[in-house]
Amino acid sequence: MTPTPVESEIDRFAAEHEASWIAYRRERHCAPEPSGEETETSHSVCERLKSLGIAAAIADRGVGVVGDLLLGNATADTPAIAVRADIDALRMPDRKEAGYASIKEGLAHACGHDVHTTVVLAVAETLSHLANTGEPLPDARLRFIFQAAEETGDGAAWMIEDGYLNNVASIIGLHVEPNFLSGDIGIRYGVFTAQVDELHILVQGKGGHTARPHSTTDPVHCATMLISQLYQTLPRSIDVRDAAVFTVGQINAGHASNVIPDEVSIVGTLRTTATESRDLLLKQIQSTGQHFAALTGNTVTVEARHSLGSVINATHETSALEAASRQVVGDGSVHVLDRPSMGGEDFAAYMKCCPGSQFRLGCAGSLPWPHLHSPVFDVDEKAIAVGVRVMSRALLMLAQSNTKEA
């Protein structure tokens, strides 16, 4: 299919500006900021949006940015089409030897949020440029959301609570995917990510001397039995056709080799794709904890925190992303995913406000490639321009369909 003049201009502009976008991504990559502390990133993004003539402001909490671009005859009251990027980094080391590796000890952009930020900024730059070319564009108010604190599951809720999703008709987003080569795109209709519960389990009892375990309730013994039992029991507590995974990531107890501590802290996650399975498993964790509490003479408390729902990709927005992807990379490089990811995404919170969709942007230079949250994670930077071309087209498609409906 022959591209339209607007599509051709998107591609030309991307080719012309790809090097500058890569340079900005590297700038962000070497200066990561953790969730809730993204002040320098927020100022950088805000100033760049303003330089494009986009009305932008740092969010009320001091981190995160929101900017609006009006196309055609749209006004400030026109329902918006939003595009979201997350801007935070992880509290972990960056062990790459690249010249743009993190200069901040214990912080790394190991989940690709620097790429997300760059792509959405570049989409804003591309569409702002199109608005000045005289090419016919649909009437649309485009909202660019640069969200803080995705890794802690707080940032989307902040944006919603502070009103930035008011009068937003739909929203799209992206996530880099190291299981796909750069130039490949993953699309999924329906459930896209898992529901995630951060579980905090506290075992409390009577500690004492390791030479006299009989005079204690040995919370460590209780905790180890509990974890082992949960690993064995939970997969057999629900329909085996429903994806679910429980994993412990932290165990903290004691201060000396010859002292049985009086409490053990266990932190992990429960990930599910079916609400019924989630409810059953949470009840099973509670009841198993109470069983071992009674068996060992300890107390066991279980608390679910920072719970996230699933991202459920809506048909309309997903269709636009799929059509845009096929235009950019061709049918052979678009993968319609048959299963959801077991990862979590607070993009799910936006689904309560409006329909939306996320897609997977291939970022591997070769396969296998380092996975997300790896200390050596990086991207093939050719993915950036691909993401810009796809998202720019998708936004205009959604704007065009909204104009027709109006």
pLDDT digits (tens, 9 = 90+) for 194-213: 999 999 999 999 999 999 99
Least confident of 82-86, 229-233, 331-335, 400-404: 400-404
- Output the average pLDDT for the chain: 97
Mean pLDDT of 258-267: 98
CATH label, 195-308, candidates 3.40.50.1000, 3.40.50.11540, 3.40.50.300, 3.30.70.360: 3.30.70.360
How confident is the model over 27-74, as pLDDT tens digits? 999 999 999 999 999 999 999 999 999 999 999 999 999 999 999 999
Residue-level pLDDT at 400: 92
Alpha carbons 218 and 210: distance in angstroms, whole number: 9
Is the pLDDT at 133 greater than 70, yes or no?
A: yes
Which residue from 41, 81, 34, 98 is spatially nearest to 64, judged by alpha carbons?
A: 41
Closest Cα to residue 392, out of 49, 11, 3, 1? Answer: 11
pLDDT confidence band for 403 (50 / 70 / 90): low
Q: In this structure, what token pair is assigned to residue 392?
A: 């720019």
Q: What is the pLDDT of residue 309?
A: 95
Mean pLDDT of 342-347: 96
Buried b (16+ CB within 10 A) or exposed e, 237-268: bbeeeebbebebeeeebbeeeeebbbbbbbeb
Predicted pLDDT of residue 405: 64
Task: For residue 28, give every residue at least 6 positions away whose Cβ sits within 8 Å of its Cβ, in sequence order, or none.
Answer: 41, 44, 109, 114, 117, 118
Residues 219 and 297 sit within 8 Å (Cβ to Cβ): no
Mean predicted confidence (pLDDT) in 235-246: 94
Flag whether pLDDT at 317 surpasses 90: yes
What's the pLDDT score for residue 357? 98
Extract the tokens encoding 405: 């409906």
Structure tokens at 77: 């009251």
Q: Nearest CA to 392 among 187, 176, 188, 128?
A: 128
pLDDT given at position 2: 87
In this predicted structure, the answer to whether residue 406 has a pLDDT above a threshold of 70 is: no
User: What pLDDT is recorded for position 115?
Assistant: 98
Question: Where are the domains positioned within the chain?
Answer: 5-193+310-405, 195-308
The pLDDT of 286-294, averaged and rounded, is 98
Q: Of the CATH numbers 1.20.1250.20, 3.30.460.80, 3.40.630.10, 3.30.559.10, which one belongs to the domain with range 5-193+310-405?
A: 3.40.630.10
Is residue 79 scored above 90 in pLDDT? yes
What is the average pLDDT across 159-168? 98
